[in-house]
Structure 1
């Protein structure tokens, strides 16, 4: 491997960063994908199709791991959750996953800070693998395309990889902040409606 070639570092950093951030949310995975797409648009160091493929692969593997943790330890974890939650809330969660689980998985991946709670709930509540795997893949594809588009947009505006990467990162953070704000307002509105 030629370590002076930027792609020798870029592709593993992209895949590893997305995988790590998908399991442990310490890496802003959307910013990693947006920045890689911006670099792909402004240089020949990275290929946009490979950026998309590796982003999807890293996100999907991370989501499968996150979903699998409560599935394989589901009995002790479920007993722990049952002690902490009301039985009707658990029943409602199971019912929601039974009716529209694939939608919850897709939306959870696209909404900031929604993915891990949805995946842990799905795993804990016994959402079937045969339903999770295709919906998880669809969610990861949509997510990777959305964040790559932000990088493509910034790369199309600026020729400088540095400026395009910075703009992609700012766009990702802005989109994340706006969607988080909207989610919080909707949750507050729903809470008021239930009173």
Structure 2
């Protein structure tokens, strides 16, 4: 009887989970990457470079598919992809994208709940594939490295793969929550400044 190879399940689960989570935001893809990186550095059952490669590839394919849906302009597909996204967030993303599209693709990938509005804005604004592709690739590489680093950190703190994996997932969720809170705080401050600049009786 041959020994079971954990990578036979680990690699497909990582790639499929990141791809699915990039299409339908119901899977904490960052936690998957962090957990896989923690397993790689504590057990050797997974290769860290392959974890980074598959995470980047799954995220990139998901982002390109999301952008493609918006680019094609199918109303049904748009409703499916934009489910759970507020109209205010989508409108804000469209307005910002016209000014600095490539940078927003990278930032949107790193900020929780920012990826889909940015990609939908890119598609509906007619952003070209030749510019979206490189920007999305850079965004996914940075994203994969960032979340894998959290997994490597947890693996360096604990030799136990179970503890390291759990800590990696917790670290990813905590970092995501902090970034989300900071983004919400910055949005509120910007709205307050805009309101103060216009004044209560000043026409906009």
C-alpha separation between the residues in 2 aligned to 1:74 and 1:103? Answer: 26
Q: Which residue of the partner structure matches residue 146 of structure 1?
A: 146
**Larger displacement relative to structure 2 (29-38 or 123-132):** 123-132
Q: What are structure 2's unaligned runs of at least 5 residues?
A: 79-86, 196-204
**Larger displacement relative to structure 2 (51-60 or 122-131):** 122-131
Following superposition, the deviation at residue 31 of structure 1 comes to 0.1
Q: Which residue of the partner structure matches residue 101 of structure 1?
A: 101
CA RMSD of aligned residues (A): 2.3
In the alignment of these two chains, the number of paired residues is 184
Is the CA contact 1:3–1:9 (under 8 Å) kept in the aligned structure 2? no
Larger relative helix fraction: 1
Is the CA contact 1:97–1:127 (under 8 Å) kept in the aligned structure 2? no
**Larger displacement relative to structure 2 (28-37 or 98-107):** 98-107
**Larger displacement relative to structure 2 (139-148 or 98-107):** 98-107
How does 1:5-24 map onto structure 2 within 5 Å?
A: 5-24=5-24
C-alpha separation between the residues in 1 aligned to 2:50 and 2:67? Answer: 25
C-alpha separation between the residues in 2 aligned to 1:29 and 1:3? Answer: 29
C-alpha separation between the residues in 2 aligned to 1:35 and 1:180? Answer: 21
Q: Which residue of the partner structure matches residue 44 of structure 1?
A: 44
How does 1:78-93 map onto structure 2 within 5 Å?
A: 93=94
C-alpha separation between the residues in 1 aligned to 2:75 and 2:157? Answer: 52
Q: Which residue of the partner structure matches residue 81 of structure 1?
A: none
Deviations 1:45-93 (A, max 9, x none): 1000000000000000000000000101269999xxxxxx8xxx69x93
Q: Which residue of the partner structure matches residue 25 of structure 2?
A: 25
Taking structure 2 as the reference length, the TM-score comes to: 0.84
Deviations 1:110-169 (A, max 9, x none): 000000010011111111111000000000000000000000000011111100000000
Q: What are structure 1's unaligned runs of at least 5 residues?
A: 79-84
Taking structure 1 as the reference length, the TM-score comes to: 0.88
Following superposition, the deviation at residue 97 of structure 1 comes to 3.0
C-alpha separation between the residues in 2 aligned to 1:182 and 1:125? Answer: 27
